[in-house]
Every structure is written in structure tokens, then in C-alpha cells.
A and B are shown apart, each in its own frame.
Chain A
Amino acid sequence: MTLCELEKNEMGIVIDLIQNEFTLKLVEMGIYKGRSITPTEFTLLKDPICVSVSDSRLMLRKEEAKSIIVTKCDL
């Protein structure tokens, strides 16, 4: 599943990134294979969304969120 499909406050683990122009930027911001990621705020169309990743929070557009493949992490 992609990051877009996670519910609010549901934690996921990044398992892959679909290659794109902004992939390097995502990696630089700490989003890469093995890291945990949690959506915390949504706008109306879930675009952009706010996620919590490695101790800080980021906003991403739907396009970026779709390129992040995650697996749901059950606590």
C-alpha cells in the first residue's frame, strides 16, 4: 500500500520508494526503506498531508505520498 492509504495516526514502515525527481529529497528528509512514518494531519483532499517521521513533521503532496510504499505496522 502507499502512504496515502494509511489512516490518520496509523504508523507505517517504508518498504520502497518509487523513483521520481523528488526521491532524493524524500531520502534527505529521512524517508527511506526501514523508517517509520505516520500521517498526523490531512487537508480536505488529503493533498497535502502532514506526516511525522524521525522525530519531526513534514508536509507532502499526494503525488509524493503515492510514491512512498509502506506496510502497516501494528502496535
Chain B
Amino acid sequence: MERNIRNIFLIGNPNSGKSSLFNQLTGLNQKIANYPGVTTERKIGSFYLEKQQYELVDLPGCYSLYPNSIDEKVVINELLQNKPDLILFVADASNLYRSLLLYTQVADFNFPIAMVLNMVDELESKGEVVNASFLESELGCPVFLCNSKKRKGIDSLQKYIIGSDFHASIKIFGNKQLFSNYLSSSNLNYASWHEYVQSTPSNAIVENIKRIEVIERYNKIESIIALTVSKTQKAFNRQRFTEKLDKYLMHKYYGFIFLLLILYLVFQTLFTLAQFPMTWLDSGFGYMAHLINNLDSKSSWLTFISEAVIPGISGVLIFIPQIALLFLMNTFLEESGYMARIVFLLDNWMRKFGMSGKSVLPLLSGNACAIPAIASTKAIPTHKERLITILCIPFMTCSARLPVYTLLISIVIPLEFQGLSLLSLYALGVIFAMLFGWILNKNISTSEKSFLIMELPPYRLPSFKNIYINIKNAVVAFVKVAGKFIVTISIVLWFLASFGWQNQAIQKTNIETSFAASIGKTIEPAIKPLGYDWKIGVALVTSFAAREVFVSTLGMLYNIGEEATERTMIEKMKSQVYPQTQLPVFNLASGVSLLLFYAFALQCMSTLAAIKKETDTFKWAIISFLLMASLAYTSAFIAFQFLKKC
């Protein structure tokens, strides 16, 4: 063994099959530094070939080394900071012209490099063939023909990785004279130029040099392509097929009809399919808690497990079906190429609200869970559009609001209006997300120019392996990030709800005299104008960890046994009255007020943590929390005061 671990970078254009190659080489052996969008952060996978360990870094797709988004900055930063032992450059054969621009830039860093020429079959279907050995001699680096979705060519690539000491490409493509005014002669290389560009604020002269550099590269690339690609007989033409399909899917009227249909199908499937495993998990954990409790109802350890740990864990696991299905849909829309069409159709509309077409998918994902949705905004290039998207996502009706909505609706809304009410709450989320975006757009000033220059990839069939790995990564990341939060907070809440200050000591007590009750009674004056009693106050506080905790807290507070079904819970809550007045606690006024409170309040620690992480400051997490809290309070106040007179 020569060295401990050999470090390989994977670089290429978006949609070049980079992630597929990554999955083929590393299998399931991947770790991600953070929550994954599609390939938004540094993905690292390791694999062994003949006892030598290799670490493969999958860098985000980009078109050049001059970055336009946070994603793309990662690539140039990695090249400048870390020295890879080998760069595997993934090129899309059917789009060789554009792939080679990035290739020639990366090659000029003078690291050992090899090219993986992907999707050769697509090039052939366009009626062209590429001569790999000509390309090798033109580029000065080894070229492997692959179809990474079908594992074609992977074996010879692996043999190359095992067998060789890696060599830098023999050819440098850039013109050093372009940069000579800015770099000392001892430092006259492409990497130093990038260091210079990063360290100086952008100005017209530097921008001009960049443009000249790119055009000069393209001129060289044209002659390379003329020598290596030749025309043959045409077979099935994917490009033609895509163009024909786009006549309908991107049509100025029909396009929207298809869009609505596809989105309807996607979300209908998401909600219907997720129902089953969620119900199973819920009743499974309920049964488990029941069993443990029955072992020995006196043991405080067993109560701790059945009342704090198990509900905590189940509170995390219950979201996994939805997150998995959400990522299934996301990956499918992204890999099939339809995502780019959604961007095309909706960009104009979204811009009125300070966002871009690229905000549509994150916003829709917010209907399942805000946390992965916020993480997936990284691909939005302009800072302002990205910020507005992040801040609008929490308004969308996430799945944690659903149990609260269904419980309250079935208590206070007459049966014939229940479906309509739920639908209106979803609509309310969308309307306020857009309204909030519109207000933010008017109030956040920016000097940055927003633009949308995006490739429309041909339609392709997504690979099952990619979808599977994406889902697995998303679920693992969710459990790690949000899981820690939810479990910890539900344990703390259990403590607050089961212990109290009695006889100058902390003692186990019932909920009426617990710490949670004192908190609820303390905030009671503040929530009385909204129509809530102190018990609802406790539930408001506890649901700060995750909104659906509201339901279980009320269950605990109203002494509803664990065997209670949803029906008995609804009956019990309906019969709650204020001791002095004998008026019901849950009536139309307080119910609607609570529904509005839950629609607007940002009661989710994990979402706040995600906002803080993605905007890189506490400022926006605090601002959006306060704004949404005041909106929740005001609307709940108005609704209650208005409705109680009716």
C-alpha cells in the first residue's frame, strides 16, 4: 500500500450522469456532510480496489469554474484548497462542446485527470460517433467510454484506477498571456489566476478577461470536436423525441394543464401512499408503549421509556414515509428532466413574488416537510430569490400540521364543511407564502442582478439505483438532524409535564401541578384573548418541538387513556367546559383561532435550525419566527373576537 487513502474528485456538468457514476463506484458507502437536495453539498463515498482505499468526492455540477451559485462555488474552492490524487471528469458525450469547456479549465490546474465519456448511446442516437483514441490524444488524458446507468465501461475505469500512477494531462489549454498583467511570472498559472479572481472584487476588466478566456477555449474545442466526432446513420433520436414532447409539455397553454395534472398526481400519490406506513408506525409504537407500561406500572424507568423515549422516537420515525416518498418524487422529477420544464412554465409567475422558477420545487416540498425543502434551495443562484424562498417555505402546510388540523376540524367544524376547511387551510398556506414573498420582495433591496440561464436536458428514464440511494441518504440525514432535536425535546417535555415543584423539592406529580402547568398558567393571560385555556397553553408550548406534539399533549392533559382512539379523544375534547361558566372550551371561535395560530406560527425548532444554517445567520431565523408569531397571534385574536360574537 503506497498511501493510506487516495483522494479522487468527480467533476462534470449538471445532468452529465455524474451522480450515477458516483453511485456505481461507491455503492452504498456514502456519507454526506449535510442534508441533501439533489447534489447540493459535498458527497463523499469510499471504495476499495485491491486493498487500496479510495475516497471519492462528488462535487456539484457546474458549467465553468466561475461560479454563479453557492453550489458551484464548492467546486473551485475544493480545487484551490485540496490536492486530489486524481480527477475523474464526467463528460456528456451528447453535449461534448459544453463539457469540454469545463474540462479544459479543470485540466489547466494540472492535477492528474481522466475523462469518463458518458451517454455515448445518446450521441449515437443523434447520428454521431466519437473517436475515443483521437480524443485521448487531443486532450492528453485517458478517456473511458461509459454508460454509468448501465455499468458499461466501469470495469475498465476501475482497472485504470488500480493500475496506474496518475499523471497530469499533458496539455494546457488556457492562454497564460491573458493573465500576465495580474500575476508574477513565477506564478503564471491558471490556479493562481483563480486565486487572484477570488481575492479581488469583480470589475469590468477582469470580467472581460474571463469572457475572452472562455471564447478562446471554445475556439480550441471546436477544432477538437471537428477532429474527433463524425456523423453516421441516425437511429432513434432522443433530442427529436424531447423536442416533440416539449411541443405539448412546454406549450404556453397546454403546458399548464399538463403541469397541474402531473403535480396533482405527484402529491396525491405522496399523501395516499404515506398514509399506510404512517398509520402502521403510529399504532405499532402505541402498542409497544402499552406493552412496556403493562410490565410494571410503578417503575419510573419504564414510564420514562413508554411516555418519553418511545413517543419521541416515533415522532421522528412517523415522518420517514413522507420524506422518503417526497424524495422519490423529487428525484424522479429532477432525473426525468421535467423539473426544468416546471421552472420554464412558472418562472414568470414566481418572479412577481420575489422568487424564481427554481423556487417551485422547494416550496412544494414544504407541503411535506420544511427541513429538506429549505436545504434544497441551494441551487437558486441569486441570494435574494433564495432568501425569500427559504422564508416563504414555513407557510406551506407541512405534514406535522395535518394531525392538528384534522383533530381540531373534527371537533369544531360541522361535518359538511370539514373537507372544505382542510382545503382552505392548504390554500391559506400557499396564499400567505406568496403574499409574504411579495412583501419581502418590496422590502429587501439588492444590487445583485437576477437571471435565469438554464439548460433543458433531454427527457430520460431515471435509474432506480439513483432514486434508491437518494432516498436512503435523505432519510438518514433527516434522522440525524431533526431526530436529535425531536427526541431530546420530547424527553425534556415529558420531564416538565411529569415533575413539579412541591414541598421545596422537585417531585414526580400529575400534570395539573407540573412545571408544564405552571408554564401554561403563566402564559394564560396572554392567550386568553385568543380563546385558549391554560391546558391549550401547555400544548402550544410543547408543540414548539414539533407541531403534532399538540395532539398527544392534549391527550395527556385531558386524562385520556392511552387506549383512546381518535373518536373518544374527539368526544372527550368536545365535552370540555370552563369550570366557572360551563361554556365549552372548544367552540367554533376558539377552534378557528387555534387553526389559524397553527397555520401561521413557526412552531418547529428544526425548521428554525435549518433557516439559521442555510442563511448563515440567526437574524433571519429570529425575524421569521417573530413575524410569523405576530401574524399567528393577530389573526387568531381577530378570528376569536369576531367569531365569539356570532
Is the beta-carbon distance between A20 and B449 smaller than 8 angstroms?
Answer: yes
Q: Which residues of A contact B456 (CB under 8 A)?
A: 50, 56-59
A63's nearest neighbour on chain B, judged by CB, is B451
A10 within 8 A of B: no
Q: Are B218 and A55 in contact (CB under 8 A)?
A: no
- CB of A43 within 8 A of CB of B451, answer no
Contacts known (A23-B207, A24-B210, A47-B348); A54 close to B98, Cβ less than 8 A: yes
The reply on B252 being an interface residue by CB < 8 A is yes
Q: State whether the Cβ of B68 lies closer than 8 Å to any Cβ in chain A.
A: yes
* A23 smallest CB distance to B (angstroms): 7
**CA–CA, A40 to B249, complex, Å?**
13
Is there a chain A Cβ closer than 8 Å to B108's Cβ?
no
Q: Does A74 contact B (CB under 8 A)?
A: no
Taking a contact as CB atoms under 8 Å apart, the answer to whether B210 and A26 are in contact is no
> Of residues B66, B345, B454, which shows the largest number of chain A Cβ atoms within 10 Å of its Cβ?
B454
Can you name the residue of chain B whose Cβ is closest to the Cβ of A61? Answer: B452
**B309 → chain A closest CB, angstroms:** 50
| 0/1 string, B174-213, CB within 8 A of A gives 1 | 0000000000000000000000000000001001001100
Bitwise, A20-38 to B at CB < 8 A (1) or not (0) is 1111111111101100000
- Is the CB–CB distance between A61 and B455 below 8 Å? no
A-B interface contact total, Cβ < 8 Å: 102
- A36-75 vs B, Cβ < 8 Å mask (1 yes, 0 no): 0000111111011010001111111101100000000000
Pair B344/A21 contact, Cβ less than 8 Å: no
Interface residues on A, range: 20 to 34
Q: Is B243 an interface residue (CB 8 A)?
A: yes
Given contacts A24-B207, A59-B340, contact A43 B252 (CB under 8 A): yes
Across the interface, do B250 and A41 meet the contact criterion of CB distance under 8 Å? yes
Whole-angstrom distance between the alpha carbons of A48 and B581 in the complex? 61
Question: Chain B residues in contact with chain A, CB under 8 A?
Answer: 63-64, 66, 68, 94-95, 97-98, 101, 126, 204, 207, 210-211, 214-215, 218, 243, 246-247, 250-252, 255, 340, 343-345, 347-348, 357, 448-449, 451-456
Those 5 A-B pairs whose CB atoms lie nearest each other, nearest first: A21-B449, A22-B451, A57-B456, A28-B64, A41-B250
Q: A48-B357, A54-B98, A58-B456 are known contacts; what are 7 more A-B pairs with Cβ within 8 Å? A: A27-B215, A28-B63, A41-B246, A43-B347, A50-B456, A56-B456, A61-B452
